[in-house]
Amino acid sequence: MNRPLRVIIDPGHGGMDSGAIGVNGIQEKDVVLNLALALKHLNDTLGHPLDLFSTRTSDTLISLSGRSKLALALEADIFLSLHCNHSSNPKARGVEVYVYDKPNSNTDAATWLAFQIQERFNKRLGFKSRGVKFANFQVLRETSRQMLSILVELGFLSNSVEIRYFLKVKNTEQMAKQILLYLLRTFYFNS
């Protein structure tokens, strides 16, 4: 690779769109923004090994097409959309990662990336694995042919254990570390 890996982090929702809301008032838009900022901070601290961008760095709402357009304009290698889950079942928990459901030349590599990110969350951070899933989400549909594009549902804001996890800054830093180190190890040292 003759330039740093270019990664677009896409914290979902923002502004008037809070995303899922937990019983204690925790909001999806904040959980995912905190993780995006932690990723940026860690990448800065390490001297910018990744060419890292975020579709938003504050509490603002950006359209889904605006997110995709940024990733395409920057000719990103990886698009990583961050979300949290919600269920009417308070016991539902764990991480699931989505890949666009219509096959293209990036599908195998994106599915593998999705599986590996999920496995890290499972083995290193203790999240239950809910599997890699396929869906026609707009941001995946609009970016998956040009880059490895995945959407991570980090955990459930309807689950009190996972809410407590997300509220700790230390845990956000751990999630950022796992994602960043995984990308560095895989795309710089193994391939």
What residues line the site for Zn ion (CB under 5 A)?
Answer: 12, 19, 83
- Angle at Cα 141 formed by Cα 135 and Cα 144, nearest 5°? 105
CB-facing half-sphere around the CA of 123: CA atoms within 13 A: 9
We find the least distance from the C-beta atom of residue 83 to Zn ion, in angstroms, to be 3
Whether the Cβ atoms of residue 107 and residue 75 lie closer than 8 Å to each other = no
Question: Which CB sits closer to Zn ion, 33 or 38?
Answer: 33
Q: Catalytic residue at 153?
A: yes
Whether the Cβ atoms of residue 140 and residue 102 lie closer than 8 Å to each other = no
Report the distance separating Cα 80 and Cα 69, nearest Å.
14
We find the least distance from the C-beta atom of residue 27 to Zn ion, in angstroms, to be 10
Question: Which CB sits closer to Zn ion, 50 or 175?
Answer: 175
Catalytic entry in 28, 153, 162, 173:
153
We find the least distance from the C-beta atom of residue 19 to Zn ion, in angstroms, to be 4
We find the least distance from the C-beta atom of residue 28 to Zn ion, in angstroms, to be 5
Whether the Cβ atoms of residue 127 and residue 174 lie closer than 8 Å to each other = no
Look at the alpha carbons of 152, 157, 162, 167 in this order and tell me if their dihedral is positive or negative: positive
Question: Which CB sits closer to Zn ion, 67 or 83?
Answer: 83
Supply the residues annotated as catalytic. 153
